[in-house]
């Protein structure tokens, strides 16, 4: 577990102190307002706690990819209304990140007030992690709080650099994320199962290679499973598979054998001749009976039941990626069934379940179990890099 300070390490009275808080406000927009406020909900506890303690809170965030130049459509002013709605407080928008305009704005803010600085990526120094740029921002603050785990895999000025110029703390969302991830892979209760799904093995190679040495059960689903089945000599018909990675898949299975990790692949599958909702050619068969003109689109009921039995023997579950083509019925059946089973085990206290990644979050919502698993990470790239066993610069800087 990285050793980091949290808001509990700050004085109870922060009256007049300036808190520079890195948040994630990179919100999906539709018709001029945010279509999903999950990221704002995540930072609310940190921002309001600092405000209630009397700090002047200055939020730092990126919005889109302006590439080091100003774009009016990518100003963080676009999300002010949405953020105010969630926080229930008025924001002062500050069109700079450093310099006299920021200094004047801090003078106008009263203790407990909240300001939002403009898109940090308007300045090339942000993505270059320029120490002078970080220093120019740090000059306005008394301390730095990072509450943007989703940007922690980037070594940028406001995600990593500021921690070298000011006392640094993890915000409540960051703290929850790091605690949950530590309980999932850092220092987990064993046995541990990992569900890794998705279309391509190539995008999850590092994840698989890291996990075989850390978990006792590796459950492979989605299009990735077809590549592993092919590596075991199964004819997968016209299923999505990366035949050039068969040797790599074999090596991963060998490594799993050596480290005492059981790799679970489906032995019955749901196939069809075309990928469409409820196709006429839909059938369930043994993996060795897939015809040349059929594609595997989900795992079958027997395999799903066997995986449910595996989870009953485990204490910890890490989940990234669906088991089948879950966006299209009925190829969501296995993912929905296993998600509900994992949620039930979590609710009865026998399983710690941590899930992350866009498709996984969507699948758990579709299964209606979002509130029933231990923790859901909304961070895409950072969650994946953590599963790959990589050090995240934004996290490492907090424990420096």
| Token output for 91 | 């924001």
DSSP 8-state code for residue 6: B
The structure tokens 């009275």 sit at 13
DSSP 349: T
The single residue of 5, 89, 176, 200 carrying the catalytic annotation is: 200
155 burial via Cβ count (<10 Å: 0-12, 13-18, 19+): middle
In the chain, what's the furthest Cα-to-Cα distance? 73
User: Kind and range of the H or E element at 285?
Assistant: strand 283-286
Q: Which tokens hold the place of 199?
A: 């279309």
- Chain Cα centroid distance, residue 233: 34
64, 186, 381, 389: which one is catalytic? 381
Catalytic residue among 22, 39, 204, 214: 39
39 is catalytic: yes
345 backbone φψ class: left, alpha, beta (φ>0; ψ -120 to 50): alpha
Q: What are phi and psi of 86, to 5 degrees?
A: -75, -45
28, 34 contact by CB (below 8 A): yes
- With b for 16 or more beta-carbon neighbours within 10 A and e for fewer, the 272-311 pattern comes to bbeeeeebeebeeeebeebeeebbbbbbbeebbebbbebb
Backbone angles phi, psi at 376, to 5 degrees: -120, 125
Catalytic residue among 68, 81, 260, 358: 358
Burial class (CB in 10 A: 0-12, 13-18, 19+), 179: middle
172 flagged as catalytic = no
- Show which residues are catalytic: 39, 200, 358, 381
């Amino acid at each position: 577990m990285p050793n980091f300070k949290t808001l509990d390490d700050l004085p109870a009275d922060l009256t007049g102190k300036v808190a520079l808080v890195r948040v994630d406000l990179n919100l999906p927009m539709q018709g001029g307002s945010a279509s999903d406020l999950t990221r704002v909900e995540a930072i609310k506890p940190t921002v309001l706690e600092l405000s209630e303690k009397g700090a002047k809170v200055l939020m730092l965030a990126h919005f889109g990819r302006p590439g080091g130049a100003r774009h009016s459509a990518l100003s963080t002013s676009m999300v002010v209304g949405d953020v105010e709605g969630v926080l229930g407080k008025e924001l002062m928008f500050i069109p700079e990140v450093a310099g006299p305009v920021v200094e004047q704005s801090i003078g106008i803010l009263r203790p407990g007030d909240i300001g939002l600085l403009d898109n940090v990526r308007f300045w090339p120094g942000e993505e270059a992690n320029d120490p002078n740029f970080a220093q120019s921002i740090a000059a306005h603050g008394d301390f730095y709080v990072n509450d943007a785990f989703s940007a922690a895999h980037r070594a940028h000025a406001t995600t990593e650099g500021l921690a070298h110029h000011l006392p640094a703390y993890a915000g409540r969302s960051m703290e929850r994320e790091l605690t949950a991830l530590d309980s999932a892979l850092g220092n987990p209760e064993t046995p541990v199962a990992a569900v890794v799904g998705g279309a391509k093995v190539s995008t999850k190679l590092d994840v698989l290679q890291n996990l075989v040495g850390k978990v006792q059960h590796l459950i492979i689903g989605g299009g990735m499973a077809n590549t592993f089945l092919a590596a075991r000599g199964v004819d997968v018909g016209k299923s999505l598979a990366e035949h050039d990675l068969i040797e790599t898949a074999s090596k991963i299975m060998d490594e799993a054998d050596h480290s005492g990790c059981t790799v679970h692949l489906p032995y019955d599958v749901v196939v069809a001749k075309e990928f469409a909702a409820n196709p006429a050619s839909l059938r369930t068969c043994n993996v060795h009976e897939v015809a040349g003109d059929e594609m595997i689109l989900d795992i079958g009921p027997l395999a799903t039941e066997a995986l449910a039995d595996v989870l009953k023997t485990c204490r910890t579950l890490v989940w990234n990626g669906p088991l089948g083509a879950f966006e299209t019925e009925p190829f969501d059946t296995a993912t929905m069934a296993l998600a509900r089973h994992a949620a039930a085990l979590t609710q009865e206290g026998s399983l710690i379940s941590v899930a992350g990644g866009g498709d996984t979050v969507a699948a758990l919502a579709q299964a209606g179990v979002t509130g029933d698993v231990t923790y859901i990470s909304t961070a895409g790239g950072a969650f994946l890099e953590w599963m790959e066993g990589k050090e995240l610069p934004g996290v490492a800087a907090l424990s420096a």
